[in-house]
Structure 1
């Protein structure tokens, strides 16, 4: 079962069938993510094929890791064909967050 953790705290957990693997990153379905540990970041980015990205700051026990999570709230419809299904709102993690 894929799990995203930071300092022993589970940030997201889902079954193999629920997660998506896109460009080497594991994307967790929105329902599996601890959104209480994420704060919207103002960092702008638009992927040429996925669309506008929403970055998140991971906030845990006084630690704030800027832009260590991201999602695509409204991906381009053509991206669904490339990925194989709708990944709207799925969340991926980076750097200090361990995904195993």
Structure 2
């Protein structure tokens, strides 16, 4: 079982992650939607497509743009559709 933890809270847990470039992509349903806050940030990857971001809020603290996902991944990255990955201090273990 893989978990994503930030600020002492488990924010995602699944035994069905997809690892791409060293990052675990969790099924969206395995992520606690209550901690995800919308962000206007986007970035572009040449082979995956355009990523969108969420900030994470736990116990009154915010980790800006610490979660990302590809709403419409390119065909080469189809396996990460409907999945979310983390960074910026989120521990994935």
For the aligned pair, the TM-score class normalised by the smaller chain equals over 0.9
Contact 1:40 1:54 in 2 (8 A): no
Total equivalences in the alignment: 93
TM-score, structure 2 length as denominator? 0.92
Larger Rg, first or second structure (1 or 2): 1
Per the normalisation by structure 1, the TM-score is 0.86
1:46-57 aligned at under 5 Å gives the runs 46-57=44-55
Query: For the aligned residues, what is the CA RMSD?
Result: 1.1
Regions of 4+ moved over 3 Å: none
For structure 1, the 5+ residue unaligned runs are: 81-85
User: Per the alignment, in what secondary structure is the counterpart of residue 24 of structure 2?
Assistant: strand
Unpaired segments ≥5 residues, structure 2? none
